[in-house]
Structure 1
Amino acid sequence: MKASSVQQAFKSLTSRIHPQLPLSERESQRLLNALTSSFRTQLEQPHHHHQDDPSALTTSASVSPSTSTPQPLSSSTATDRHLASILTNPLLTKPVHQQLKAKSKHPVALFEDHVAAGRANLPSARLCLEAFRNSLSVLFPAQIKDQINRYAAGTRVLRWLWTSGQTHSLSFALDARFCNQLAFFLIHEGKEAALWELIDTPIAASSNLSLKENSRRKGLLLSSIVKTCLSAPDESLESALSAFFRALEASHSSHASISHAGVYLTQALPKLNYSSESDVLLYNRFVEAIPRWNKKHPDRAIYRIANLALHHPTTPSADPALDFIRELRPLASHPFLSPSTAFQRSTVFAFFFDTVKLLQKQSRFDDVLWVMEFMQQKFPGEFVPVNQPLSTASAPSQAPEFSTTSSHSSLPDWKVPEFG
């Protein structure tokens, strides 16, 4: 894929100033001046197109040979120019080495060394970002903010991605760990707009990616934004769900697939603490939106709604879960009843036990016994009373009988399988 004109100009400029060596302050300032002048000229051109003059809308056939009509910007070019305006920052032209007093190399300085030597790649960038983030864990919040702003690690890495042409294909999004680190630093550096530029920009005509693959990569980037918003030190449910709803409202074939972010939120929301009414309203809004991004898999929507109802922060309910189980009961087979991995089994069994736990808490003992009986029938080798030998668990004749008239005060104990 060819680099954009802005990228080529950037490479041309940098190649004249010793690209394999750290820049001196004078060289850094020359590069900054050249970049700023070049990008400002290109960024201002679209705003001088005589927008109120009807003659500006004439076709090329009616224009004299001595004049040239400015052409509308393609989406990829507009994105390049916006990223250029974000990445022409005086801080970025000063090598990290000059900001350090310690003899040991800072992770961001190591990354700059790799870029200067032409050895930078996603694994090395990821390791440097992870090392820098780990170093922040022992600092106070004010110190963390100072360090993030001082070294601008996310912006430096994004500039490398951009100049190497990786932002057009979003290939970096396939490395989840790298993508998560990049999103963390860019958001905390106040550069979230750059991430949204990449998500919102339609597919370039020269891209070899299918609509589905492009949408998937954008979805992985969106998921990283959502994860960052829910991570320390500034976790914000409002920011995470605002990002999700923004993508949901803009969802179309060339936009981000929201399934990755949606699944992550479905798993994360039950584990959060809700201290305000506004957070509860956001929780409810997310639940209501589930059918919109699960249109191709309505069963998954029903399960996810039921699971979130079990963990509602103020009014938990087991009724949607019971409805879901009733739909499963007469089926001979269903993907939910045939988990094939340890993670899937853990997810399925957690759903059943959370249902039982809530029903028992609400003194709905008949429903508790009904669900436990269903679990025994569908998973006879996994769930057995503690007084029943495991070797006979699968024998139908050994299955325990439950009666709705049983003593509610002495519900049977269950041996729960351990999964990773």
Structure 2
Amino acid sequence: MSVRTSVIRALRACQVPRTPGSVASSAFFEGQAGQSWLRVSAGQRAISSRAQSPAINGKSGKPGRFGKPGQSGKPGKSGKSGKSAEGERSARDLERFNRGVLPENENPVKVFNANLRDGTLTKAIAASCLKTAVRRENYDGGLGEATIKWIWKEHDSYEFPKDVELLDYMIRLLVQEGKEDLLWSWIEQKSRKRGNLGPKDRFAWRADAVKSLVTSKAFASEDSLDEALQVFLRAKSSTYSIPLAPARTETAKLLMMPASKKAFENDQGPQVEQLRWPNTDLKLWESFFKAIDAREDVSEPFRVQLPLYRPDGPDPQPYLKYSRHLAGHPSLVQKMLKRQSLVPWIARGRHAEAVLRQSGQAEDANWLGAFTKELDSKSEVIRKKRDERRTAQRNGASKKFKEELGDSPL
């Protein structure tokens, strides 16, 4: 026998066989490394986000690697009955946090502060606490200020749409807490992203924060949009680069948001929409109107819709003039018919028709009414095909049916 063969046999004889117990221990420690704990309230239970492995607790009914039930040699692999009552409860609790609903007996301020203190606070938990506080109108807990200080250095790691809910509720609370200056300081921080990225990517948190602040200020007031318009104008005049498209669109929609409709002609004719915020300052309105960039305002332009909602009285002429322009360019109409924004555009047309009729311009009102009706009837076919396509996609329709819809003008 050679020396090499003798050495190999000696080494094999010295090896310790791997027992089922050693396999289970290995599975236990590997499983422990994957645990994450979430503290849901101060001094209360901590819940695990990992279901126990049958290889650890011996509950698997299938024979393991060594021929005995409950002793699987594969660490961390669970069987069909692997979830314990604690694991199921953990899953429900985590699902509850993801939905953003806290039980009645949970105090959102205490939950937030406990997780912040223990280092277990996440954006999902924070959004849950903030949403609960807003629903309960709990504005004296300082959650808005606490949240913005917590995410202060993560401004340029903001992700759309993942972080929108957290941002919206944080800003609503900051408005109620009177901490808007803190928000502006957060907005005007420098971005650490690469300089070769466009403004929309580098400054995404600025764009959505200004948009959310506009909305929060609007609904904090019952009779005017003055403060919302001031937010937009401040952002526009800022020396920092703030993408204004989201805030501009949101502000325009708010300015055109009716509170009610007033009918005339025995409730059978068109209806005039009443302003939701009738006391909005005219100078601020005009400043916003002038700030609309004509190069970006091309499809269903706000420049022709907004005059219908001037604080000093509706002006239907820009809308009427643009509609006549559309009537003379069928290609523009065809493009418009494919857009979902056509629905509010048609609503504006009916409002403009009502204003024209009320002011005695019956001929213009009749023409605009007929043109709006034609748009509505033509778009109905396309809307129907769009709905059919969506239904087909949801239900997994056949390839042939999808090819037939593919020939549509959509």
2:156 aligned with 1:159, yes or no? no
Q: Residues 224 and 383 of structure 1: is their aligned pair in 2 closer, same or farther, counting only changes over 3 Å? A: closer
Deviation readout 1:91-110 (Å, 9 max, x if unpaired): xxxxxxxxxxxx93311211
Superposed displacement of residue 117, structure 1: 4.3
- 1:125 aligned partner: 126
Q: Residues 308 and 249 of structure 1: is their aligned pair in 2 closer, same or farther, counting only changes over 3 Å? A: same
2:363 aligned with 1:362, yes or no? no
- 1:262 aligned partner: 248
Measure the CA separation in 1 of the matches of 2:110 and 2:365.
59
Measure the CA separation in 1 of the matches of 2:160 and 2:154.
7
What amino acid maps onto 1:333 in structure 2?
A: S
TM-score (norm 1): 0.56
What amino acid maps onto 2:114 in structure 1?
A: D
Measure the CA separation in 1 of the matches of 2:334 and 2:165.
29
Q: Counterparts of 1:198-209 in structure 2 under 5 Å?
A: 198-204=186-192
- 2:344 aligned partner: 347
Q: Given that residues 356 and 362 in structure 2 are in contact (C-alpha distance below 8 angstroms), is that contact kept between their aligned partners in structure 1? A: yes
The unaligned stretches of length 5 or more in structure 2 are 1-38, 44-103, 258-274, 382-410
Measure the CA separation in 1 of the matches of 2:147 and 2:321.
49
What amino acid maps onto 1:111 in structure 2?
A: F
Measure the CA separation in 2 of the matches of 1:220 and 1:375.
34
Greater Cα shift, 326-335 or 228-237? 228-237
2:282 aligned with 1:280, yes or no? yes
Q: Residues 361 and 298 of structure 1: is their aligned pair in 2 closer, same or farther, counting only changes over 3 Å? A: same
Q: Given that residues 199 and 243 in structure 2 are in contact (C-alpha distance below 8 angstroms), is that contact kept between their aligned partners in structure 1? A: no
Q: Given that residues 337 and 378 in structure 2 are in contact (C-alpha distance below 8 angstroms), is that contact kept between their aligned partners in structure 1? A: no
Greater Cα shift, 174-183 or 360-369? 174-183
Superposed displacement of residue 257, structure 1: 0.9
- 1:303 aligned partner: 301
Percent of aligned positions that are identical: 21
Measure the CA separation in 1 of the matches of 2:148 and 2:360.
55
Q: Residues 130 and 208 of structure 1: is their aligned pair in 2 closer, same or farther, counting only changes over 3 Å? A: farther
Instruction: Tell me how many residue pairs correspond in the alignment.
Output: 268
2:238 aligned with 1:250, yes or no? yes
Superposed displacement of residue 245, structure 1: 0.6
Greater Cα shift, 375-384 or 321-330? 375-384
Q: Given that residues 225 and 277 in structure 2 are in contact (C-alpha distance below 8 angstroms), is that contact kept between their aligned partners in structure 1? A: no
- Counterpart of 1:256 in 2: which secondary structure? coil
Q: Residues 189 and 209 of structure 1: is their aligned pair in 2 closer, same or farther, counting only changes over 3 Å? A: farther
What amino acid maps onto 1:260 in structure 2?
A: P
Measure the CA separation in 1 of the matches of 2:190 and 2:155.
13
- 1:70 aligned partner: none
Q: Given that residues 202 and 255 in structure 1 are in contact (C-alpha distance below 8 angstroms), is that contact kept between their aligned partners in structure 2? A: no
Q: Given that residues 352 and 371 in structure 1 are in contact (C-alpha distance below 8 angstroms), is that contact kept between their aligned partners in structure 2? A: yes
Greater Cα shift, 235-244 or 121-130? 235-244
Q: Residues 206 and 363 of structure 1: is their aligned pair in 2 closer, same or farther, counting only changes over 3 Å? A: closer
What amino acid maps onto 2:124 in structure 1?
A: P
Measure the CA separation in 2 of the matches of 1:295 and 1:372.
27
- Normalized per residue, the structure richer in helix is 1
Q: Counterparts of 1:326-345 in structure 2 under 5 Å?
A: 326-334=324-332, 338-340=336-338, 344-345=341-342
Deviation readout 1:56-82 (Å, 9 max, x if unpaired): xxxxxxxxxxxxxxxxxxxxxxxxxxx
- 1:148 aligned partner: 139
Measure the CA separation in 1 of the matches of 2:282 and 2:230.
14
Measure the CA separation in 1 of the matches of 2:232 and 2:212.
11
Measure the CA separation in 2 of the matches of 1:148 and 1:379.
45
- 2:217 aligned partner: 229
Q: Given that residues 170 and 218 in structure 1 are in contact (C-alpha distance below 8 angstroms), is that contact kept between their aligned partners in structure 2? A: no
Q: Residues 326 and 211 of structure 1: is their aligned pair in 2 closer, same or farther, counting only changes over 3 Å? A: same
Superposed displacement of residue 178, structure 1: 1.9
- 2:401 aligned partner: none
Q: Residues 23 and 368 of structure 1: is their aligned pair in 2 closer, same or farther, counting only changes over 3 Å? A: closer
- Counterpart of 2:106 in 1: which secondary structure? coil
Measure the CA separation in 2 of the matches of 1:269 and 1:327.
24
Q: Given that residues 350 and 372 in structure 2 are in contact (C-alpha distance below 8 angstroms), is that contact kept between their aligned partners in structure 1? A: no
Q: Residues 275 and 320 of structure 1: is their aligned pair in 2 closer, same or farther, counting only changes over 3 Å? A: closer
Measure the CA separation in 2 of the matches of 1:108 and 1:207.
38
What amino acid maps onto 1:122 in structure 2?
A: K
Q: Given that residues 187 and 209 in structure 2 are in contact (C-alpha distance below 8 angstroms), is that contact kept between their aligned partners in structure 1? A: yes
What amino acid maps onto 2:122 in structure 1?
A: N
Measure the CA separation in 1 of the matches of 2:225 and 2:297.
26
Q: Counterparts of 1:305-320 in structure 2 under 5 Å?
A: 305-320=303-318
What amino acid maps onto 2:291 in structure 1?
A: A
Q: Given that residues 309 and 317 in structure 1 are in contact (C-alpha distance below 8 angstroms), is that contact kept between their aligned partners in structure 2? A: yes
- Counterpart of 2:220 in 1: which secondary structure? coil
Q: Counterparts of 1:28-39 in structure 2 under 5 Å?
A: none
2:165 aligned with 1:185, yes or no? no
Q: Residues 159 and 255 of structure 1: is their aligned pair in 2 closer, same or farther, counting only changes over 3 Å? A: same
User: Over aligned residues, Cα RMSD in angstroms?
Assistant: 3.5
Superposed displacement of residue 369, structure 1: 1.8
